[in-house]
DNA sequence: CATAATATTTAGACTAATCTAACATTTTTA
DNA sequence: TAAAAATGTTAGATTAGTCTAAATATTATG
């Protein structure tokens, strides 16, 4: 009845891979978890016995409803904890992933639901990834890259596309964080660099590639 | 270099047992962790190899400085998380132990120190058990049972002696929580029951045995 | 103080999660 | 389409943490 950390990590990985392609392969999982394919095969058999995945030798696998529910729940916990760490504990975006990897395995529905409430039932984590609700349902806030926003329109930072630490640290340095209001003042014609202001504050320049990596929701 | 949950649980248990008696026995540990003595013996050998305990066959064991540091740290984390759950997440005293058993193993010095700060560098958890500082040092707030406080003197609830869930729930029901100010108005001569008020509020009666179980610090 | 009771350790086994090496199947490509 | 490449599985081993049963050491007691 109780799922181990390991099992939870497999289901989370499989869920993430399923988002791209319904049929998931042994090698994909091995790569994502940084373990050997042979190890994955063993685990797949066990997950299949527990009815958490549908699995046929050499044919790939897919999650059952039961397996999906666990995978989504782990993702929900991970993202809520990340947001908690950033908003309540004042960590930077790029510092929270590793801690959330641990916290996501804490078993207490009550705790996670209170966390959700305390954070105002957020729709996305500090990287802009969506947070499913307690029933495993993802809200569909459509975000767009900042470079697709028209000048003068105010938009709100929801996350990033490529979330490398260096990029997050760069944003931190120039003073851009989740929830900040951004106004584009001008786009330079020859290199598409953006002159923007953050929260009606002083102006900063960002390159086109940076603008493409910042996700916003129109207000 | 990295200690497992299991190892941490052993060191925590051994630390707690050491508080009563420097020399700890195999059976004590087995009883506290609810596992077999044979299992404990195996682990003791491993802990000794890692220089976390001093151990000699049939002679009991004691913690090394290194082992003590880990044990104390787990206790610090457990108690800080308990307090966090009660104060910030609005859990009741009797609900937090199990969740804290999990949270105590989260590895992040930064997180635990920020938690400490956020809670105002508390000296005790919701059960009144002392919280060591980041150097593993316990402050020596001496608490006394409520029945030893003189009438009219205001004292502050610091914890309980016997922390069974039923007792904690009882306190919760009559409206007594950590940090509450208690004034004793009168002690009934024939049965030593106490008439008290909580935070200058309305008066309640508690029996002598209850008064003996509540720990307070004089103000 | 000899023996009975208790405590501790050793030996051998099991499970979960991992590995490597060898083998099997599927897919790609010349 | 047959051979080569890529992908996936099986077999056998390892480690951590646990168990039971048997052996040994220590402590208590008649």
Provide the pLDDT confidence category of residue A76 given band limits of 50, 70 and 90: very high
Which residue approaches D11 most closely, CA to C1'? Answer: A38
User: Which letter, b or e, does each residue of B117-130 get, where b requires 16 or more Cβ atoms within 10 Å of its Cβ?
Assistant: ebbeebbbbbbbbb
Q: Report the candidate in A76, A98, A49, A25 with the shortest Cα–Cα distance to residue B106.
A: A98
Q: Which of B184, B77, B34, B201 is nearest to A106 (CA)?
A: B77
In Å, what is the CA distance from B105 to each residue of A101, A102, B110, B201, B213?
A: 13, 9, 14, 40, 30
DSSP letter (8 states) at residue B35 = S
Between CA A38 and C1' C22 the distance (Å) reads 12
Question: What number of CA atoms fall less than 13 Å from residue A180's CA on the CB side?
Answer: 22
The C-alpha atoms of residue B32 and residue A74 are separated, in whole angstroms, by: 31
Answer yes or no: is A4 CB < 7 A from strand C.
yes
For an interface test with A, give the residue of B89, B90, B117, B118 to mutate (most A CBs within 10 A).
Answer: B89
Task: Give B162 or A132, the one with higher predicted confidence.
Answer: A132
Q: Band of the pLDDT at A218, cuts 50, 70, 90?
A: low
CA–CA distance, B207 with B214 (Å, rounded to integer)? 11
Interface contact flag, A111 B102, Cβ < 8 Å: no
Residue B195 to residues B5, B146, B186, B188, B189, Cα–Cα distance (Å): 46, 12, 5, 8, 11
B219 pLDDT above the threshold of 70: no
Stretch B166-180: mean pLDDT: 88
Residue of B nearest to A118 (CA): B89
Q: What are phi and psi of A206, to 5 degrees?
A: -135, 150
Nearest in space to B96 (alpha carbons), one of A118, A79, A110, A1: A110
How far is C-alpha A155 from the chain's CA centre? 20
pTM for the model stands at: 0.82
Rounded CA-CA distance B127/B81 in Å is 12
Which residue in the set B85, B102, B111 is minimally distant from A107, CB to CB? B102
CA distance linking residue B209 with residue A138, whole number of Å: 52
Distance of B18 CA from D15 C1′ (whole Å): 30
* CA neighbor of A204 nearest in space, from A179, A180, A174, A181: A174
A113 vs B86: CA distance, rounded Å: 15
Distance, in Å, from the CA atom of A123 to the CA atom of A141, rounded to the nearest integer, reads 8
- In the numeric block, the tokens 């309305």 are attached to B202
Extract the tokens encoding A184. Answer: 């584009």
Residues of B in contact with A111 (CB under 8 A): 85, 89, 91, 99
Q: Which domains does chain B have, with CATH numbers?
A: 5-63 (1.10.10.10), 144-218 (2.30.30.90)
CA of A24 to C1' of D1 (A): 29
What average pLDDT score do residues A137-157 get?
A: 88
Question: What is the tens place of the pLDDT at every residue in A100-114?
Answer: 999 999 999 999 999
Q: What torsion do the CA atoms of B199, B200, B203, B209 make, to the nearest 10 degrees?
A: 40
- Sorted by sequence, the CB contacts under 8 Å of residue B2 that are 6+ apart come out as none
Mean pLDDT calculated for residue range A87-94: 92
* pLDDT at site B218: 66
Between residues A126 and A26, the one the model is more confident about = A26
User: Chain A residues with CB inside 8 Å of B99's CB?
Assistant: 106, 108, 111
Is residue A219 scored above 80 in pLDDT?
A: no
Which pLDDT value is given to residue B78?
Answer: 98
Asked if ipTM goes beyond 0.95, one says no
Residue A126 has pLDDT above 60, yes or no: yes
Q: Mean pLDDT throughout A166-172?
A: 89
d(CA B128, CA B144): 11
Summarised one tens digit per residue, pLDDT across range B119-133 is 999 988 878 889 999
How far is the CA of A143 from the CAs of A57, A147, A179, A217, B96, in angstroms? 39, 12, 13, 5, 38
């Amino acid at each position: 009845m109780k799922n181990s950390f390991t099992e939870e990590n497999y289901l989370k990985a499989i869920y993430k891979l399923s988002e791209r392609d319904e049929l998931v392969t042994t090698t994909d999982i091995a790569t994502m978890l940084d373990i050997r394919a042979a190890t994955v095969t063993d685990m797949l058999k066990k997950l299949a016995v527990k009815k958490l995945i549908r699995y046929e030798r050499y044919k790939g696998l897919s999650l059952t409803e039961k397996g999906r529910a666990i995978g989504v729940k782990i993702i929900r916990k991970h993202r809520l904890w990340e947001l908690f760490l950033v908003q309540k504990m004042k960590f930077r975006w790029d510092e929270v992933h590793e801690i959330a990897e641990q916290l996501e395995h804490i078993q207490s529905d009550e705790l996670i639901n209170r966390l959700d409430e305390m954070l105002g039932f957020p729709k996305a984590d500090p990287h802009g990834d969506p947070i499913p609700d307690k029933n495993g349902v993802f809200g569909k806030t459509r975000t767009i890259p900042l470079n697709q926003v028209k000048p003068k329109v105010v938009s709100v930072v929801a996350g990033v596309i490529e979330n490398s630490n260096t990029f997050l640290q760069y944003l931190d340095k120039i003073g851009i964080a989740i929830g900040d209001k951004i106004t584009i003042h001008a786009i330079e014609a020859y290199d598409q660099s953006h002159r923007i202001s953050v929260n009606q504050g002083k102006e900063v320049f960002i390159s086109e590639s940076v603008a493409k990596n910042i996700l916003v929701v129109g207000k």
